[in-house]
Structure 1
Amino acid sequence: MPRSPKRRARGLRREELAQLAGLSVEYVLRLEQGRATNPSAQVVAAITRALQLSRTERDRLYRAAGLLPPQDGVVDNHVPAGIQRLCARLGDVPIGVFAADWTLLWWNDMWNALHGDPSTVPERERNLARMLFGGHPYLRPMRSAAGPEAFEVAIVGDLKEAVARYPGDAALAALISALRRTSASFDRLWGTVETATLTGEEKTITHPTLGEITVDCDVLAVPGADLRIVTYTAATGDPNAAKLDRLRTTGITASA
């Protein structure tokens, strides 16, 4: 958050915590006053990321909320504080951090400008597979240089890999079951695609103001945490790099 000379005390203001966690100020106030007594695991996870808690601090917060901390053997949605700080320092690059089930956990302003603002959709819907196969309007049109359905195939193969690593994760199993039930395309690919790990490729995203932007999409693994850092870049001097520069300098958002 920007530093202000008027700030009298260290730490986040209530409004800032609400903004970083994607919650309403009123709900944060209810939590402070003890009027919201049953926060969901999704809310606690969002506050954990906003406060950049360590794993031990995260577990204490879950217990304070009357919830069991995330257990081994299930997909972890914790973004370590160091990863958050690293990504925050790369503000010129659109960055999103995803869990193993492709739930979007963290993103920056450039991600908003390129893709649209994820905070406009419920947290449960911020899953890339749900957006791809559910046709959610948040996700802007995007195609892969590898050909039609290449991106969808890669996501399905990576989800199969996640299921193999987390066979006891009920939420992941429910996600797969729901997608197979509601999307004929996902169900078809699930029955035919081999297990694979998603890697980077060239993608073209259609922006409502700047038109098509072709970028290199790289997927970076986080050692010690089953996370994916997704970045979008273009070579210096490329017309697409100029479009990314315009996104950064003008702050074009999802409303554009």
Structure 2
Amino acid sequence: MDKQALGAFLRSRRERLRPQDVGLPSGPRRRTPGLRREEAAVLAHISTEYYIRLEQGRAPRPSGEVLAGIAGALRLTDAESDHLHVLAGTAPTRTRLHRRDVRPSILALIERLPQTAAFVMSAVFEVLAWNDLAAALMEDFAPLDPEDRNLARRAFLGSEHADETLYGISDAAEFRHHVVMELRATLARYPDDPAVTGLVDELCDASPDFVRLWERHDVQAVQMFTKTFRHPALGEITVDCDTLALTERDQHLVLYSAPPGSPAAEALALLNVLGAEAGSAARRG
């Protein structure tokens, strides 16, 4: 149980709600945002004193019934409710370290996908495996050190033109918010993994933008269904974006594709040829 993180999360979710959101009268002007602690406690069917102790990080581990009451009172989404249980220590435990080894069948799959840029990403946004088309659309990750393959670092620690370090994607701001939400959930799952805690500390120390988003305590990631890349040779390429969870290793398979006959499909076909040629040349070298 991470008492301090649990308390901060509860406080952030309580302060975002208005009395009218939960069927309470707004009453006289309030000095602080959101619900009052006693209001949250009443809605959760627990004592005000116990709820206050939870937010202050002084309470013992709450039961599943109490957590369900709090989730309902604060109108938590499914993802937020899952995060609440992780922080309270009532979710199924994982191994201490997040996995970076990719299943061989997934490695074979991304090589067989036609006209689709595919890569596998770890729980901390490190690109672990990729096919030739992904290298042609984004960059060749092979010569990079593992820390330089990390898309979270690219998002927040890149050059002054951060969007360029993210391959010219059109939704760079949304991606950065997505990164923060995912990393917060990852830290709750792996609180003792130095690779996770070290990355979060590094981003907090170096990026005020990361800190601003981190302090929002958001964990409900938004699915991005399309993405536009600004490729240096072919210009803008808008692709469909699908992300599949590889739950047994806590990884994600990211797929970029385009409808047959579309300009984007023609661009991917050209990149596929260029990527295969570059890969062959690299292997010959």
TM-score, structure 2 as length reference: 0.59
Given candidates 78, 83, 88, the residue that maps to 2:111 is: 88
Closer, same or farther: CA 74–197 of 1 in aligned 2, 3 Å? farther
Aligned length: 181
> In structure 1, how many angstroms separate the alpha carbons of the residues matched to 2:166 and 2:218?
25
Offset at residue 211 of structure 1 (A): 0.3
Counterpart secondary structure, 2:152:
helix
Alignment partner, residue 167 of structure 2: 140
> In structure 2, how many angstroms separate the alpha carbons of the residues matched to 1:74 and 1:80?
17
1:218 and 2:245 are equivalent in the alignment: no
Alignment of 1:185-200 (within 5 A): 185-197=209-221, 199-200=223-224
Counterpart secondary structure, 1:244:
helix
Alignment partner, residue 202 of structure 1: 226
Residues 155, 165 of structure 2: 8 Å contact kept: no
Deviations along 1:214-254, one digit per CA (max 9) or x if unpaired, are: 1111111114221100110111121111111111123386x
Offset at residue 201 of structure 1 (A): 2.3
Alignment partner, residue 273 of structure 2: 249
1:106 and 2:119 are equivalent in the alignment: no
Q: Which amino acid aligns with 1:234?
A: A
Counterpart secondary structure, 1:77:
coil
How high is the sequence identity, in percent, across the aligned residues? 35
Offset at residue 138 of structure 1 (A): 5.6
Residues 224, 241 of structure 2: 8 Å contact kept: yes
1:156 and 2:183 are equivalent in the alignment: no
Offset at residue 180 of structure 1 (A): 0.8
1:128 and 2:151 are equivalent in the alignment: yes
Gaps of 5+ in 1: 1-70
Residues 206, 213 of structure 1: 8 Å contact kept: yes
Offset at residue 150 of structure 1 (A): 1.1
Q: Runs (4+) of structure 1 moved beyond 6 Å?
A: none
TM-score, structure 1 as length reference: 0.65
Alignment partner, residue 119 of structure 1: 142
Query: Over the residues paired in the alignment, what is the CA RMSD in angstroms?
Result: 2.1
Q: Which has the larger radius of gyration?
A: 2
Write 1 or 2 for the structure with the bigger share of helix: 2
Given candidates 186, 199, 217, the residue that maps to 1:175 is: 199
Gaps of 5+ in 2: 1-93, 279-285
Residues 136, 274 of structure 2: 8 Å contact kept: no
